Amino acid sequence: MKVRKAVITAAGWGTRFLPITRSQPKEMLPLVDKPLIQYSVEEAINSGIEQIIMVTALGKRAIEDYFDRSFELEYVLEQKGETKLLQEMRELSNLVDICYIRQKEQLGLGHAILTAKGIIGEEPFAVLLPDDIVDSKVPVLKQMIEVYEQYKTNVVAVERISRQDTIKYGIIEPKRVSERVYQVLSLVEKPESAEAPSNLGVVGRYILMPQIFDALKVIPSGKNQEIQLTDALRLLLNQQAVYAYEFEGVRYDTGTPLGWLEATVALALKHPDIGPELREYLRQLL
């Protein structure tokens, strides 16, 4: 079955961005010339996704408004003769079919995904964590869908991480299957480097079979009383294969101020309008 739907989880508190996130969703922070969340939405669209299920929460209304149509704004732009901008604004509101669902209590990533169960139904689906932005020629999700098409089972995105960073990631025990593709034999959440079965860490892109919902429903709450996706994946491993795909591209973790700043600089340097002047500015600064 084709992967048609994608869940984008945007309900987290974003505590690492406090105090900004007291009144502003971190997903709406700008990354060069558009909000963070738009990168995931565009990646999903460019990977062939037909419907996006956005999981939001209290205080995240700005995301819905952003992708909605604003007749007032369109009217103002029309009056001012700003036809190009008007066209861009219309395109933005027609990007894709997005439906919103609220996670009423922030009980973790696993719980956020479970919130979308009714809309997903019985089909494979993608999950994108909007903090993880990947700069790549082919959208990461598209690369993963190709792997899914071959194995017709769960696929998680992995990246080679440095040994001292294993405590920040879910780490897989891999069995190499082909170039960049591994079968996941086991999954360890945030191990010390000495206990890590590899240096392949799971990052924020997944293709999941609907059976993940059954696993999410039965696992007990883990760290911080949260329902962890990693725990559900580990349980699913008993009945279904999980593959890991080492994607092509550079990933930025924009969930922290430093990561966000790194992504901002790296992507701005590549931007045709801003890049050359920014490069010159940075040169002067250093």
Q: Which residue lies nearer to ligand UTP by CB, 108 or 124?
A: 108
Out of 107, 119, 167, 181, point to the residue binding ligand UTP (CB under 6 A). 107
133 binds ligand UTP (CB under 6 A): no
129 binds ligand UTP (CB under 6 A): yes
Collect all residues with Cβ–Cβ distance below 8 Å to 164 and sequence separation of at least 6: 193
Distance CA 266, CA 281 (A): 14
Contact 25, 59 (CB under 8 A): yes
255 binds ligand UTP (CB under 6 A): yes
Collect all residues with Cβ–Cβ distance below 8 Å to 177 and sequence separation of at least 6: 183, 243
Residue numbers 200-229 binding ligand UTP by CB under 6 A: none
Distance CA 227, CA 28 (A): 25
CB 65, min distance to ligand UTP, A: 18
Q: Which residue lies nearer to ligand UTP by CB, 35 or 174?
A: 35
Binding segment (CB under 6 A) for ligand UTP, from list 107-115, 159-167, 195-203, 243-251 = 107-115
Binding segment (CB under 6 A) for ligand UTP, from list 3-11, 143-151, 167-175, 244-252 = 3-11
State the number of binding residues for ligand UTP (CB under 6 A). Answer: 20
Distance CA 276, CA 278 (A): 6
Cβ-closest residue to ligand UTP?
12
Contact 239, 211 (CB under 8 A): yes
116 binds ligand UTP (CB under 6 A): no
Contact 100, 56 (CB under 8 A): yes
Distance CA 117, CA 240 (A): 19
- At residue 175, the 3 state secondary structure works out as strand
Could you tell me which residues are beta bridge partners of residue 123? none
Residue numbers 46-85 binding ligand UTP by CB under 6 A: 55
Residue numbers 6-45 binding ligand UTP by CB under 6 A: 9-16
Binding segment (CB under 6 A) for ligand UTP, from list 65-73, 127-135, 179-187, 271-279 = 127-135
254 binds ligand UTP (CB under 6 A): no
Q: Which residue lies nearer to ligand UTP by CB, 15 or 79?
A: 15
- At residue 59, the 3 state secondary structure works out as coil
Contact 10, 56 (CB under 8 A): yes
